[in-house]
Structure 1
Amino acid sequence: MPAPAPKNLQEATQDAVNMTRNLADYHGYSSSAVDPSVTVISVERTGLDENGNLVREAADVDDSNETARLTMKTSGSATDTTPVRKDIHTRLVLRMRVTEKMDNSLGNMHGGCSATLVDNITSMVIFYHTSGAMGTPWSFLGVSQNLSVLYMNACPVGSVIEMDVYSEQVGKSIALLTAEFWIVERDDGQTDDGEGPVYSGKWKRVKKTITGTHTKVSRLEHEMSSEPAS
């Protein structure tokens, strides 16, 4: 029996948007690293269809309302069943303000905050690799096995960053995810007020600040391998 198709672009993106909001509101450690301004900007998913042909889905995202609105940059609708079946790779871009609660006392984002963001934001691309059906791989997004972060430049409090995350490889039990964080500035003649939403307008990347890799293990596979032999 063939594996169920991954979620369509609309469903997977809505899951990612919901996760950003849950992280921002969560009464736990992760909320200290996520500002409510966080917003999903764009998504791209590539892979092979049932016949082995390369296919691509891409959309700009507006999550200013409760339901994410996807404007397709490729043919088809975001609510169509995805033609992608295997060798899937997903790129997700998010934007967020760096606020005072992330301060390391030197006016920059704390390194632990950056690592928490790499952990949480990279995990979102897995939504595009699973049907979400109970008992299937990655239906619970897996558990972390290894996290590596390279700090290249500071992220000053008050700046806006783009978080570009990508699934290098997602198999049945192991996922390798990557991240690049960039400081961005307005590039549309508008002046950023330092407080308003960051989901609209044109922005340009001016400095790479962080790169990271994240290895995850499918929770289902992890739990099965941890069970004592009967």
Structure 2
Amino acid sequence: MPDMVPFDGEAATMALGFLHRVPFAPSLHHAPKPEVMDPIPPINKRGGRTVGPEGWRSVYSVVVTEDMCNPLGNLHGGAAATLIDTVSSASSAILATEGFWGIPMLSGVSIALDVTYYNACPVGTKAKLTVTIEHMGGSLGNLRADLTDWETGKRYASGTHVKTWRDLRSKL
């Protein structure tokens, strides 16, 4: 797998633009910061992007704030699930092209989101959210996200995200 590179301006703008458009819990969606990503695969003959056998990765940082926490002062499970959902979706939007996971269904819609919680993530923690796009086919995508401590690697939560996409341009 190639070495990861810093998010370039266009990819960071795409990811942050996607996250900032989500009207639900705006402070939660403004918290993730794009850090590094694998190089973006070239457009293939079908107009999409081919993700290799090890997937395509992107890494975001997020600092856990009080408004993300439960009464015990730890990241709320719903906030963790929301971060996994929207940040993995933002990562898939980076790989979109006009006719492949693009507008008007940019990054598709969720079919399933499964989150497993391992440890409490206290307020003030700088966490790493590593997203792996395992597969992006013509209509189905499989994404995985791991929320860990930025310094120690301690695992807080992991999620799998299955999405579907359909080219709706002809129906508009």
Pairing of 1:82-93 with structure 2 (within 5 A): 85-88=49-52, 89-93=55-59
C-alpha displacement at 1:47, in angstroms? Answer: 5.1
Superposition TM-score, scaled by structure 1 size: 0.60
Cα distance between partner residues in 2 of 1:174 and 1:85: 13
Contact 1:168 1:176 in 2 (8 A): yes
1:44 to 23, 38, 55: 38
Matched AA of 2:32: V
1:206 partnered with 2:153: yes
| Residue pair 2:51, 2:134 contacting (<8 A) in 1 also | no
Structure 1: how far apart are the matches of 2:18 and 2:96?
15
Q: Would you say the 8 A contact 1:164–1:181 is kept in 2?
A: yes
After superposition, the C-alpha distances for 1:3-59 in whole angstroms (9 at most, x for unaligned) are xxxxxx653332013234x15xx5x4232533x4431110103658869xxxxxxxx
For residue 167 of structure 2, give the secondary structure of its aligned residue in structure 1.
Answer: helix
Letter of the 2:38 partner, please give it. Answer: E
Distance 1:11 1:17, change over 3 A: same
Matched, 1:31 2:30: no
Cα deviations across residues 95-132 of structure 1 (Å, max 9, x unaligned)?
Answer: 0111111121011011011111111000122123222x
Q: Is the 8 A contact 2:136 2:142 kept in 1?
A: yes
Instruction: Tell me how large the CA RMSD over aligned residues is.
Output: 2.7
Cα separation, partners in 2 of 1:49 and 1:117, compared to 1, 3 Å: closer
* Structure 1, unpaired ranges of 5+: 1-8, 52-83, 185-203, 225-230
138 and 157 in structure 1: CA distance in 2 versus 1, 3 angstrom threshold: same
Residue equivalent to 1:174:
140
- After TM superposition, the structure 1 = structure 2 runs for residues 47-58 of structure 1, keeping only pairs within 5 Å, are none
**Structure with larger Rg:** 1
Identify, as 1 or 2, the structure richer in strand: 1
Distance 1:130 1:29, change over 3 A: closer
CA separation of 1:38 and 1:87: change in aligned 2, threshold 3 A: closer
Tell me how far apart the structure 2 counterparts of residues 118 and 29 of structure 1 sit (CA, whole Å). 14
Q: TM-score, length-normalised on structure 2?
A: 0.78
